[in-house]
Structures are given as C-alpha cells and as structure tokens.
Amino acid sequence: MKDVFSADLRRRLEALAAKYPAKSAALLPALHLVQAEAGFIGPAEEEAVAGLLGVTPLEVREVVTFYTMFRRTPAGRYHLQVCRNVTCSLLGADQILDYLRKKLGLAVGETSADGRFTLTTVECLGECEQAPCLMVNFDHYGNLTENRVDEILRELA
Amino acid sequence: MAEAKTFSRALGREGGWSIEAYLQAGGYRAARKALGEMTPAAVLDEVKKASLRGRGGAGFPAGLKWGFVPAKTDKPKYLCVNADEGEPGTFKDRYILGHDPHLLIEGALIASFAVGIHRAFVYIRGEYENIARRLEAAVAEAVERKFLGPDVFGSGFALDLQVHRGAGSYICGEETALLESLEGKRGHPRLKPPFPASVGLFGAPTVINNVETLANIPGIILHGAAWFTDQGLPTDGGTRLFGVSGAVARPGVYELPVGTPLRDIIFTHAGGMLPGRQLKAVIPGGLSAPVLRADEIDLPMCCDALVRAGSMLGSGAVIVIDDRTPILDVLLRVARFYAHESCGQCTPCRLGTNWIRKVVERMASGGGRPGDIDELARLASGIKGRTLCPMGDAAALPVLGLVQKFRSELEGATCRP
Amino acid sequence: MPTLTIDGRTLSVADGTTVLRAALEAGISIPHLCWHPAFVPEGSCRLCLVEVEGLPKLELACSTIVREGMIVKTATPAVRESRRRVLEFLLAEHPVDCPICDKAGECKLQDYYADYGLTEGVFAEAKERRAKKVVLGERLILDRERCVLCTRCVRFLKDVTGTRELGVFERGVHSEVGILEGKPVATAYAGNLVDLCPVGAITDTAFRHKTRTWFLSARPSVCPLCARGCSIWIDYHPGFPRRPASAGVYRIRPRTDEAVNGPWICDRGRYGYLDLHRRRLPAIFWNRGGQRVEMSREKILTLLGEKVGSLATRHQGKGLGLVLNSNLTVEEFGVVRQTLLPRIPQARVWFADPPHGEDDGFLLRSERTVNRRGASGLGFDLAPLSLEDVARGLTILVVLSPFFGQAAPAAGVEKALASVETKALVSPVETGFEGLFDFVIPSALPSEKGGTFVDFQSRSRTLSPVFPPWGDAWAEGDFLSALAAEISRTS
C-alpha cells in the first residue's frame, strides 16, 4: 500500500518526533510539515500522522480543527491572509481587502478557479508597525497600498 | 525607526544576528559569568532584586515565578519561552527573535541555570515561520560552539533548547494553554491550581517566560540588579520595548525606561499623530488593556500606574486611535477577535464573546437598537471574573472600557431615528 | 480531616475533599453540568462558583479542595447572580426544544433554570443553527443545538471505556462534539452516555419520543443478566386508564451502587432486560395433539399434580427430572429444597443456565445469571442438564428455566424430549421449544416477584416487586408451593 507520506517526509517526521519527551508532543510541528507537502490534512493524512505519533486519528482531527493555520482542504498556491484587527483596520485594511476581492474576483474564504490564490482574513499577525499587512503563505508584507498590492501580485505571478 | 538602546543596539549591529556579531558585541558574557562564577541561588536572587516584571502581559515578577519551582523533585524541569505574541498590537518579541535571537538564547540559558532546568522549548507562533527558522539557525550556531547542549561552556551544565511552532491560536499565549499545545493538544487552558511551577509540561515543574522577559536577564546578570532598577522603577525595573502602532507618524519598537510617560512615547518618540489627525483614544498595553481617552495619557508607563488608571501595561503595545476612526469600528474588531479566539471550553467566554459579537455586528451594520450599549456592558460584566482563564477578562474589560468611555459616540453611531 | 463551615453548617471531611463533595455530604446541592463523581473536575461549565470567605473572586466548588477553617457560602446574592448569568449564557444559544425533547422532566438545565434562573429571555440575536440528528452510534443521536459542551460524553469514553470515539472539533462557539466518519461509538457501554448527558443532546433511539419522563416511576431493582447483578432503576409506566397498552417498562437505567456497578450498567443489561419484557408467554396452555388448549392454574395443577403425585407416592419421585435455573430467587430455591424435594427425594435436579460468556473486564461477568451462589448456598450443585440424562428413563420432566435448550442443538432436544412421557415448561419468556412440551406455564420475571439473589461478591441483594406479573405469569415459588401442596393432597 502506498504510503501517504514521501520517504523524505516520513524521515523528517520521525526525526522530529524523536526530539520530544513524548512523540505526541510533536503533533503541531508535524502537521505543519505534512501540510507543507500535501497542501492540506485530510483523513488519510490524519491516520498516517496518528500512527506515527501514537495518537488516534480523532485526536489529530481535534487539533487540526482547533488551529486556524491547518487546512482540511488545499489552499491555492498563494494563500493571501489579510489582517483585520484594530491597527490594520484603522489604517485601511478594509480597503485593501476590498481591493483584493475585486482584483481577484474572490469572496473571503474562496480559492481562484486556476488554483493560484486563496483569500482569507486573519487576526493580528504581529506586524502592526507596518499596518495594514498581509501574509502570503509565510511571507509578511506591510505598509500596503493598492499599488503595493499590485506589485506583490505581480511578484507572485 | 527605533532609537538604539539595550536591545535595539542589535538593529544596527554589523554582522546582524549571527553569533559572531553577538559575541563581538559582548554577547554570552553574562551566561559565562552566571555558569562560571555564580550559584543558581545567587542568579535567582539577583533577578528577584531587579524587580523584573513579566513582559508578556501579566506583569508577574519573574524572580518570584522562578522561585515557585521546587528545588528538589524527581521529575525533569522545563522552561517554555512564550513566543506566541498574539496580543493584538504587539510585535516587539518579533524584533528580539529576528534581530537578536542570541540575546533570547542567552537569557534562557541563564534562567535554566538558575532554576535547574535542562530542557527548554521556545513556543513560537506559527505565523512567525521565517523568524522560527532564523531562531533555529541561531540555536544551531550556539550548539556548535557548545553554548547549548550537554556541556555548556565546559561547565557540566546541560541545556537542550528546541524551537516549537504553534499554528494560529491567540489563547496559546496563555501559559497553561501553551503547555497543552506544546503537548500536542488543543489549546485549552488548564484549571489552576495546580500551577505550572509544580505541575506543568508533561506534569513536571515548568517555568513559562515571555521572550522579552528573558532577553533582560543577561543585562541584569552582567550589570546587576541596581543597574536594572535604576533604568526603570524600584518595583518595576529596566526598560521595555514599547510597540507603538496606529495613527502615528513613526510606528515601531521603542526601548524606553519603565515609567516613561505615555504622552512622550506617542508624541516624542513615535512622532505624534499622522498629519491632519487628532488623538482620540489609546489602547496602552495590547488589545486586552482597557482604552484610555486622549485626556488620560498623562501617566507613567509602568504596571502599577496603569492598573490605578483602570487599565494595564500588558504587553506594552500602544495602539493609537485617531479622530477619523469610529469607536464602533474598534469595538467591532475587539468583539470579532475574542469571539474568534475563544477556545470554547467554558460557558461565559464561549457563549458570551459570541453574543457580544452578534450585538456589535448588528450595530455596525445599521441594526442598532436603544439599549444595545447597556446590553454590551451587561454581557461583558457577565463574563468578567467567571471564566476558566484570564481570556474571559481580556474579552470583557476592553468592551467595558470602550462602552464606558465612549458611550455617547457609540450611542450616536448605533441608534438611528 | 479538615473542618469547614458551609452555609452555616460545620462538618469534617476527608483530606482532599472538594467543596462540592463536602456540600453533598452536608446535603447542600450546588448546580453543575460538567462535574460528575466518576471524573476528575473539569471546571468548564462555571455553574458551581461559590463564595469562599477571604478570597476575592468566586471559586469553583467542584475543584477547590477544602482547607481547615474554610467558610463557604453557596446562597449569597453574588453566587445567585453568578448562576443566573451563567445560565443566561447557556440558554441564549440553547434551543427551546422542551416540548419535543426526551430529557424534559429530568433535564439539569430545566431544573437549574427553575431553581436559579427564572429570568426573562433577553437574547435578541439569531441563534446558532446546528445539526440536530447526528448519528453517534447504533442507538445514539446527538443534537448539537442542545449540547452544552460539558464534555462528559467525551471524558466517559476516554477515562472509563478507553474507546475514545468522541472528540471536540472546531473552536469557540463553533466547538462541537463528534465522531470520525465511519467510527461510531461502538462500546458496550454506550447507553451510559444518555444518562450522563445533562441535557437532551444525546438521546437513545430505544427511548426517543416514546413517552414523557413524568409518566414513569423509577423502581429499584437488580439486573439478572449476569452474576454482577448491577443495581438498576426500572422506569415503569403504569399505563393510562384508557390505554392499557401504554403500560410497561420503558427504560432501564443504572442505580448508583458503589459496591457493585458504580454509576454505570452495560448495554447488554440496559437493552437486553428491556427486551425480555416483550417475549412473554401469553397464557398457561396444554399442548393437546398439536393444539394449544388454554388452561387455568387449578386445572394444570390437577393434571400435573396427579402425575407427579403418583411418582412421588410409588417411587419417591424416581423418574422425575426437575430442571432449575440460577435466576430463581433464594426464596424459591428454599421452596424447592424444603417444600418440594422432601416429597420427591429420588427426583433428579439439574440446572439449565445460559452458556458462560466473556468477562469484559469491567462490569459484565462470564456467568450470565445472577444467583448461582444463592443456589449453591442452598445445597444445589448446579449440575448442568445433559440431553443424555433426559433421554435415560425420565417419566416426567419439569423445566423451570427460560434458558432451556440454549446449550444444545435443537434437533437433539427434540429427540431427547420425545422419550419423556410428561413434560412441563415453566418460563417467563419464549424459549423456542414450547411446541415440544405438554404443559407450558408462563412465569414471572424477578422484577415481578421480588426476592433475594446472592451475587458474585457473595452479597445478598434483595429486590421488591417492581410491577405486577405480566398477564397470567405465575411466580415460580408460588407454582412450586402449590405443586407441593397438590402432591401432598393426592398422596
């Protein structure tokens, strides 16, 4: 039966688990590694991670559905996460979000048909001195203006 | 950007964050002094005398917290560095981790020595992935030089430090939720007592400290407790990284003595208001700190003064709100944030934050009714003091503050004839 | 042994006792949803907050340990206010399902609202809409709108059964209890989840929408389906005056008994005992040439008594086989030993008990009857009935067992019985072998006759009758006494 994980990923997961006093403690970092390879954490991934870390698939799902960074369905290649907390809002985050919605033709939570972009809103990203900001996958962009957004989208193309 | 002081020296440092640059600038001297010339008890004593208050939000004296860990135990002891930095408005730990990771490592090393800890985890929020990688690289540098590992500085002291990522949950910045998350579970805060110092990570005695708190340790050990309190106040020593954001000309991190007047932070250091805008309100310590009006900013930024003013120093994150920002909009972000971040365990927070969110969203979309403001105050006071963890109060007090201090503006905004 | 004062009452409690347990000892009830005596304190419902003198905030009664000299107040205005506020939060998102909810009448939320709430509903927003019929297991349905997230169900499956089928997914107000697809709750103790749920979120399909709890009267009894003899409540409906068909047993629930079963029972008992009530034999009848002829008690006593009496007088009961079962009561065994057997001392006595099953390591014992020790206590050796014994020269066979034939293939039973001249079956339920017997007499279940059992721990367990005998059911003890009397009369 084909392993859900690549050999390399399995090796990395096992090495990760070995660093903890109990394997089960590696679950969150492990899920990040899995999501980086698979794009999401579905039932097959839940079972595979569970088996590796000595927890149940149910416990994996309990964790996946608690933390906002874990996805049960794949995101687009570029996951655009716009902060909507206080500082970003008072410096124009709503306008940036509106601009992105129109430009990409996406509602919040949607993925583009070509699979390139997913647009979501998030809470404070810890970049408030560069508000308004957004995170693309793990990369942070701040001091956003419509022009800057255009630039970013071009860079991502 | 920020003026160069104790931390901020790293910002302009030649060679950046690397261990070479850190050593060149005098790094790891404090750790060598502690491990080579002092006893753990002496280190603990110095930190206690320095009146170092926690920099994460609660302001609990660090030395006191370390002292709660039993000296003799047959369990391993753990240090968890709280790098979750989820309090809205807060970004200072990002600076330390990104620009001066070795300062944190050194602080963690000294703290571990003082308490007899040989295993440390840095719980870093998942959104700081790129910073986490830099931290891991810094740890690798330290391990390579034997500043971490089984025989630090050849002293025989062992410390293993590991970087652990979170995955998007504000509540995991609460110490017991952090422990649950670090154990691979949902971030559900635990009942206290027992306290982490006796029953913490994997049931063992654990110290949880904020990044900035630990980053202050090397300075205290190198220069002494008196040097630290001299920079700040006798009961609240040192400098703090005030993260200023919002409608100011120069948002950024400002390292300033504890007790610096809030007015100075905003109008001197952060350059005052953006052109054409007037100050309306200030959230002085991260979103969970009750708001201050524009006429309430003449106070020193220290834990006690903020408490006396009905707010809190919290994470030292100063959010500056201008006259073009409707308070209802601020209230909306507040309401949505806590509803989104509630872990869902306990009744008042799970249901109360969502109720508040529903009322505020209705108000913000034009459906406000007379009595809504009173209802919000009632709901917030229903949550206050009744929840399993401090997030209940964190959700309730800002709402109460906004409603109390900006009632007429809120009433005007919500009730349409 | 710290001493505390609670609402003016002073008492000493064991070290480590919580305020809530101390209150229970003092007869003071403190409202709670997430606390349960079988689990460690959870502290999430926040209903049990009470005043502890000297502490600034209200404290949880469920998890605060009593310290010497503690002064607790559970009825101050602050405590009352706190309960009202917490209840208000719960009720804000709780559907007003009471008219259609099975739990009505035994729902903690209803009770607490009546005791501590009684505020006007003030939630004026749109309620969360959630799934109302989530299948959790074979007989379990979850209504997520009603769920108050006390997590008792999740913790039961984690701490008691270890099967862990339930978890809490999502976060905040969206938190929900659920299973993984294809992995329903399958533990043999699933029925306890319905009792555990403080509201009507988890319901039992065996009970769902069948009746209202206030029509039921809870009668104490003992489950006879294994040697543990779990203490149970039998929820019995005496029937509406104009609808006698509504009478009956609607539900079996655990009756907390620390020495026997704690607060739980297994599903085998919970649903199995409920089932037995429905396979009752209708009336006394005589199988006359393939035709069932109904008889009266007097008539059958005469017929049977004559035959048994003649064997008794002439051969001292030789050729008579008596088959008992170990769910008869101690009193009934006493009648056999002291009243019947002296008149038929040469009679053979066997036992037809159900085959042993698996001991599940928790409550279910491998012996599937409750009174084997009661029988052996009265000198019976519990020799199992063998078909060879039956085929070898028996003139009369009187079987008092609902378990007859379970241990043998049906064809063998028929052949063996064919060689016996007169056969009588006395059983509360159908066995499947009624057609092979001359006389069939419906007898009573333990809950209809009362009596004593001796369980696997050698404890004497006495039950009173819970409801009247079904139809013509004749308690075995009465039948045996009457038979003995008839034998005496005819000899």
pLDDT in tens, C130-149: 999 999 999 999 999 999 99
| Contact with chain C for residue B339, Cβ under 8 A | yes
Strand-pair category, C202-204 with C140-142: antiparallel
Q: Is the dihedral of CA A4, A9, A11, A12 positive or negative?
A: negative
Q: Which pair of structure tokens corresponds to residue B265? A: 């932070």
Contact: C172, B350; criterion CB under 8 Å: yes
CA distance C119 to C142: 28
Give the three-class secondary structure for C446.
helix
> Which pLDDT tens digit goes with each residue over C341-395?
999 998 999 999 999 999 999 999 999 999 999 999 999 999 998 888 888 889 9
| pLDDT range class, residue C467, cuts 50, 70, 90 | confident
pLDDT at B124 over 80: yes
A130-139, C10-19, C441-450: least confident range: C441-450
DSSP 8-state code for residue C386: -
Contact: A58, C167; criterion CB under 8 Å: yes
Query: Which member of C46, C122, C123 has the closest CB to residue B346?
Result: C46
Q: Which of B128, B127, B120 is nearest to B97 (CA)?
A: B128
A45-59, B202-216, C269-283, C292-306: least confident range: C269-283
Contacts of B323 in chain A (CB under 8 A): none
Fold of C285-490: Rossmann fold (3.40.50)
Q: Is the dihedral of CA B200, B204, B205, B206 positive or negative?
A: negative
pLDDT given at position B6: 57
CA distance A44 to A66: 18
Residue A115's alpha-carbon distances to A33, A83, A97, B119, B257, in angstroms, are: 21, 22, 19, 43, 50
Contact: C171, A43; criterion CB under 8 Å: no
Mean pLDDT confidence for B51-72? 95
B256-260, B357-361, B380-384, C119-123: least confident range: C119-123
Q: In Å, how far is B327's CA from the nearest CA of chain C?
A: 22
Q: Which domains does chain A have, with CATH numbers?
A: 7-64 (1.10.10), 78-156 (3.40.30.10)
Contacts of C149 in chain B (CB under 8 A): 344-345, 350
| Contact with chain B for residue A121, Cβ under 8 A | no
| Contact with chain B for residue A144, Cβ under 8 A | no
Whole-prediction pTM: 0.95
> Which positions in chain A have a beta carbon within 8 angstroms of at least one beta carbon in chain C?
43, 56-59, 61-62, 65-66
Domain C3-75's class? alpha beta
pLDDT at B335 over 50: yes
Contact: B344, C172; criterion CB under 8 Å: yes
ipTM surpassing 0.95: yes
Largest CA distance in chain B: 77
Q: In Å, how far is A85's CA from the nearest CA of chain B?
A: 6
Write down the residue that tokens 């917290």 correspond to: B65
pLDDT given at position C276: 65
Q: In Å, how far is C155's CA from the nearest CA of chain A?
A: 13
| pLDDT range class, residue C336, cuts 50, 70, 90 | very high
Query: Which member of C82, C125, C175 has the closest CB to residue B359?
Result: C125
Where exactly are the structural domains of chain C? Answer: 3-75, 126-276, 285-490
Q: Best residue in C173, C175, C176, C177 to probe B by mutation, most B CBs within 10 Å?
A: C173
Neighbours of chain A (3+ CB pairs under 8 A): B, C
Q: Best residue in B180, B346, B387 to probe C by mutation, most C CBs within 10 Å?
A: B346
pLDDT at A94 over 70: yes
Neighbours of chain C (3+ CB pairs under 8 A): A, B
Q: Taking a C-beta distance cutoff of 8 angstroms, is the pair B75, B205 a contact?
A: yes
What residues pair up with A119 in beta bridges, in sequence order? A80
Contact: B386, C58; criterion CB under 8 Å: yes
Contact: C167, A59; criterion CB under 8 Å: yes
Give the three-class secondary structure for A129.
helix
Q: CB pairs below 8 Å between A and C: how many?
A: 26
Q: Which of C407, C411, C474, C468 is nearest to C440 (CA)?
A: C474
Torsion of CA B195, B198, B200, B206, to 10 degrees: 110
Query: Which member of B169, B346, B359 has the closest CB to residue C44?
Result: B346
| Contact with chain C for residue B385, Cβ under 8 A | yes
Q: Taking a C-beta distance cutoff of 8 angstroms, is the pair C248, C491 a contact?
A: no
Fold of C126-276: Alpha-Beta Plaits (3.30.70)
CA distance B417 to C181: 52
Q: Which pair of structure tokens corresponds to residue C373? A: 């020790």
pLDDT given at position C318: 85
A19-28, A63-72, B202-211, C417-426: least confident range: C417-426
| Contact with chain C for residue B191, Cβ under 8 A | yes
Contacts of C123 in chain B (CB under 8 A): 355
pLDDT given at position B9: 64
pLDDT at B108 over 80: yes
Query: Which member of C46, C63, C170 has the closest CB to residue B347?
Result: C46
Mean pLDDT confidence for A129-143? 97
Query: Which member of C165, C169, C181 has the closest CB to residue A62?
Result: C169
Contact: A61, C180; criterion CB under 8 Å: yes
pLDDT at B416 over 60: no
**Taking all residues of chain B, what is their mean pLDDT, rounded to a whole number?**
95
pLDDT given at position B4: 36
Contact: B354, C172; criterion CB under 8 Å: yes
- CB-based burial of residue B26 (10 Å sphere; 0-12 exposed, 13-18 middle, 19+ buried)? exposed
Q: At what angle do helices A146-156 and A93-104 cross, to 10 degrees?
A: 40
Q: Which domains does chain B have, with CATH numbers?
A: 8-231 (3.40.50.11540), 239-322 (3.10.20.600), 327-414 (1.20.1440.230)
Query: Which member of B76, B202, B337 has the closest CB to residue A123?
Result: B337
| pLDDT range class, residue C309, cuts 50, 70, 90 | confident
> Which pLDDT tens digit goes with each residue over B1-35?
333 355 666 667 878 899 999 999 999 999 999 99
Mean pLDDT confidence for C468-488? 91
pLDDT given at position B3: 35
Give the chain C residue nearest A65 (alpha carbons): C170
Percent residues over pLDDT 90 in chain A: 97
Chain centroid, CA C112 distance in Å: 27
CA distance C32 to A96: 47
Percent residues over pLDDT 70 in chain B: 97
pLDDT at A2 over 80: no
Chain centroid, CA B10 distance in Å: 20
